[in-house]
């Protein structure tokens, strides 16, 4: 940092213009102090006695010192005022000496001429654009001082030559020293001007970049005066969105660009503006209106922001008409889907109950026929009755499974459930079949999660029942139920050593009514695994299968520990 920079460190936070004024004043005061010191000292030395001007020079030195002290302490206005007073005092005192006390003294004439030339040089340094201008003025001033001094020497008595020559030489040195000091002032100013121009170019570049970004964004931008709320700037996208020119946008009010139906009126907009100014950023939806009267939905982000030298209210507006239309369509579709699902569930429930009654009668009468008239029928008749009863039983099972499938998610009591409880319920229901097949069931402790106990019992029952059903002949089934916690999910596996299935059917087995084997091989309706999948998906989980023909199957279930309601997604 330069000496001037250290002395003026209190101005670091000030704007550029004040810093430059302070620097210029520092150099001018320094020149003034040096000029007064040189004038008094050199003149007195050359004369061999105290010069008559030493008293005014002392006053100027004191005033300059006080000015310098005020300037260094950051008091620019008092310092500049005192500097002006010092210059005025110097001029007035100089005029007094030239017109009164030393009116006919050639030595004082050359001194007065030197002071005037000093002022000319300093003024030139302040206004010159090129160094050649200042250099020419310094050379001219030195020549004028020398020529003027030589010309005045003709009026000096020979006895006073020595005194006059001493004063003349001191004034010539005074003008030369002033030229040297003002050269430093000039270079300092030129450096500051170069910095200012560089900053101005950077500022223009930044302004151009800002304008490019400002007008390139896909959102409409308003800049409001923070005190009055008037629009002071807009971007091109705003003009496109509201179908106005920039001039029209700057003269419009927010009310003219709003739907003006509660709660989207001018007064409501003023309330939002006030909250953004006093409470902080505001984000809300608004019904806007363009110049043609077309209304459209926008999302408004309103906040305080410093833009340039002033604080403003920045408003970013995004057209969300398509999103709102999509939301409305989704809402309508959701309502229609819920209505359709409700009707479908009601139909499935009613149909199941309505179908159960005639089936019960058919089966009851079939039992009566077999009991009362079985002995009178031949073998073929008894076979027909057996077919009828078997078909009726399969139909009842199918209807019961369909009813259970349709009720998943509609009737449920979700609570924190230890899965071991549901597994115990399933094993109790399968106890006889387990014993009959001599199955070995291995289990590890299962976690607790949010679920319906009946549905989880059904899940385990279906999976274990499948493992018991699709076992290898003459080999006891070995079923393993294990689990682990993976983050916020529970991973449950049910594996067996059964007949397995081909990998190409991995997805097909979970489709309703899809069977991989004929009814003559294995009983069932083809709904069991579809029920399992629906239970799992209702809880926000997934189920998949891995299998190899002849080696067994493995079902992997992944469930959230806290229930995730899929109906609330999106």
3-state secondary structure 309-337: CEEEEEEEEEECHHHHHHHHHHHHHHHHH
d(CA 264, CA 300): 12
Q: Is 126 exposed, middle or buried (CB count within 10 Å of its CB: 0-12, 13-18, 19+)?
A: middle
Provide the pairing of β-strand 542-548 with 310-319: unpaired
CB 210 within 8 A of CB 223: no
d(CA 401, CA 272): 57
Q: What is the DSSP letter of 258?
A: B
d(CA 487, CA 196): 60
Within 32-78, strands assigned E span: none
Q: Which residues contact 257 (CB under 8 A, 6 or more apart)?
A: 242, 288, 289, 290
Nearest to 111 by CA among 32, 173, 49: 173
d(CA 143, CA 178): 14
Q: Rg of the chain's alpha carbons, rounded to an integer?
A: 51
Q: At what angle do helices 106-127 and 131-153 cross, to 10 degrees?
A: 170
> Could you report how far apart the first and last alpha carbons of the chain are, in Å?
61
Provide the pairing of β-strand 542-548 with 552-560: antiparallel
Query: What pLDDT does residue 320 have?
Result: 92
d(CA 167, CA 243): 80
The set of long-range contacts for 91-94, using a CB threshold of 8 Å and a minimum separation of 24, is 93/56, 93/59, 94/56
Distances from the Cα of 272 to the Cαs of 253, 258, 269, in angstroms? 14, 13, 5
Query: Whose structure tokens read 């459930």?
Result: 417
Dihedral angle sign, alpha carbons of residues 466, 467, 468, 473: positive
Nearest to 288 by CA among 349, 351, 244: 244
**Bridge partners, residue 307, by sequence:** 310
Helix (H) or strand (E) holding 296: strand 295-307
Dihedral angle sign, alpha carbons of residues 300, 305, 307, 310: positive
Query: What pLDDT does residue 569 have?
Result: 42
Helix, strand, coil fractions of the chain, as percent rounded to 5: 60, 15, 25
**Bridge partners, residue 285, by sequence:** 299
Structure tokens at 94: 């100089």
Number of Cβ atoms within 10 Å of the Cβ of 84: 11
**Bridge partners, residue 283, by sequence:** 301
pTM confidence score: 0.41
d(CA 241, CA 290): 7
Structure tokens at 159: 């006895």
Provide the pairing of β-strand 552-560 with 310-319: unpaired
CB 134 within 8 A of CB 124: yes
Q: What is the pLDDT along the chain (570 residues), one digit of tens a residue?
A: 567 667 777 776 666 667 777 777 777 777 777 777 776 676 666 556 666 666 667 777 888 888 888 888 888 788 877 776 776 676 666 656 555 555 456 666 666 666 667 767 776 666 565 678 778 878 887 888 787 777 777 777 676 667 667 777 777 787 787 778 778 777 766 666 677 667 667 666 767 776 777 788 889 999 999 988 889 999 999 999 999 998 998 888 888 888 888 888 888 888 998 999 899 999 999 999 998 999 999 999 999 998 877 899 999 999 999 988 898 899 888 888 888 777 767 766 666 666 666 777 777 877 777 787 777 778 787 787 777 777 777 676 766 666 666 666 655 677 888 999 999 988 988 888 888 888 899 999 999 888 888 888 888 988 898 888 888 888 889 999 999 988 888 999 999 998 888 787 777 778 765 666 545 455 556 677 888 888 888 888 998 988 888 888 999 999 998 765 444 443
Q: What is the largest CA-CA distance in the chain?
A: 177
φ, ψ for residue 475, nearest 5 deg: -120, 120
Dihedral angle sign, alpha carbons of residues 507, 511, 517, 523: positive
């Amino acid at each position: 940092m330069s000496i001037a920079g250290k002395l003026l460190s209190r101005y670091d936070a000030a704007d550029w213009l004040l810093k430059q004024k302070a620097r210029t004043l520092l150099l001018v005061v320094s020149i003034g102090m040096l000029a007064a010191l040189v004038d008094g000292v050199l003149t007195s030395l050359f004369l061999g006695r105290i010069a008559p001007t030493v008293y005014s020079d002392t006053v100027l030195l004191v005033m300059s010192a006080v000015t310098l002290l005020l300037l260094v302490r950051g008091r620019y206005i008092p310092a500049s005022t005192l500097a002006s007073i010092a210059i005025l005092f110097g001029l007035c005192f100089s005029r007094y000496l030239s017109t009164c006390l030393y009116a006919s003294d050639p030595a004082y004439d050359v001194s007065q001429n030197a002071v005037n030339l000093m002022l000319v040089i300093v003024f030139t340094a302040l206004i010159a654009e090129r160094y050649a201008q200042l250099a020419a003025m310094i050379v001219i001033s030195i020549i004028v001082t020398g020529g003027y001094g030589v010309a005045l020497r003709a009026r000096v008595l020979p006895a006073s030559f020595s005194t006059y020559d001493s004063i003349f030489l001191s004034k010539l040195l005074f003008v030369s020293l002033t030229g040297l000091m003002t050269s430093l002032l000039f270079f300092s100013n030129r450096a500051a001007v170069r910095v200012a121009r560089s900053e101005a170019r950077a500022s223009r570049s930044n302004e151009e970049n800002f304008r490019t970004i400002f007008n390139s964004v896909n959102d409409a931008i308003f800049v409001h005066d923070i005190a009055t709320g008037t629009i002071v700037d807009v971007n091109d996208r705003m003009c496109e969105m509201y179908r106005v020119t920039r001039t029209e946008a700057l003269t419009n009010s927010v009310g003219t660009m709003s739907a003006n139906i509660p709660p989207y009126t001018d007064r409501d907009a003023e309330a939002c503006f006030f909250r953004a100014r006093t409470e902080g950023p505001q984000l809300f939806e608004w019904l806007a209106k363009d110049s043609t009267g077309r209304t459209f939905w926008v999302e408004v982000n309103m906040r305080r922001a410093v833009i340039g030298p002033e604080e403003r209210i920045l408003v970013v507006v995004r057209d969300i008409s398509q999103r709102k239309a999509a939301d409305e369509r989704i809402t309508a579709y959701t309502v229609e889907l819920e209505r359709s699902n409700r009707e479908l569930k009601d139909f499935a429930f009613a149909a199941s109950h309505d179908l159960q009654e005639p089936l019960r009668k058919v089966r009851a009468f079939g039992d009566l026929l077999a009991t009362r008239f079985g002995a009178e029928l031949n073998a073929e008749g008894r076979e027909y009755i057996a077919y009828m009863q078997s078909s009726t039983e399969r139909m009842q099972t199918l209807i019961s499974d369909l009813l259970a499938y349709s009720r998943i998610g509609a009737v449920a009591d979700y609570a924190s459930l230890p899965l071991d409880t549901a597994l115990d319920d399933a094993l109790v229901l399968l106890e006889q079949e387990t014993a009959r097949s001599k199955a070995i069931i291995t289990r590890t402790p299962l976690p607790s999660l949010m679920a319906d106990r009946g549905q989880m019992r059904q899940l385990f029952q279906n999976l274990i029942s499948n493992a018991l059903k699709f076992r290898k002949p003459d080999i006891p089934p070995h079923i393993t139920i294990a689990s682990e916690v993976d983050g916020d999910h529970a991973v449950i596996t049910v594996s067996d050593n059964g007949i397995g299935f081909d990998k190409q059917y991995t997805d097909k087995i979970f489709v309703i009514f899809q069977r991989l084997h004929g009814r003559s091989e294995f009983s069932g309706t083809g709904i069991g695994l579809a029920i399992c999948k629906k239970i799992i998906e209702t809880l926000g989980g997934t189920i998949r299968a891995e299998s190899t023909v002849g080696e067994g199957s493995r079902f992997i279930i992944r469930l959230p520990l806290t229930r995730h309601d899929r109906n609330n997604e999106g």
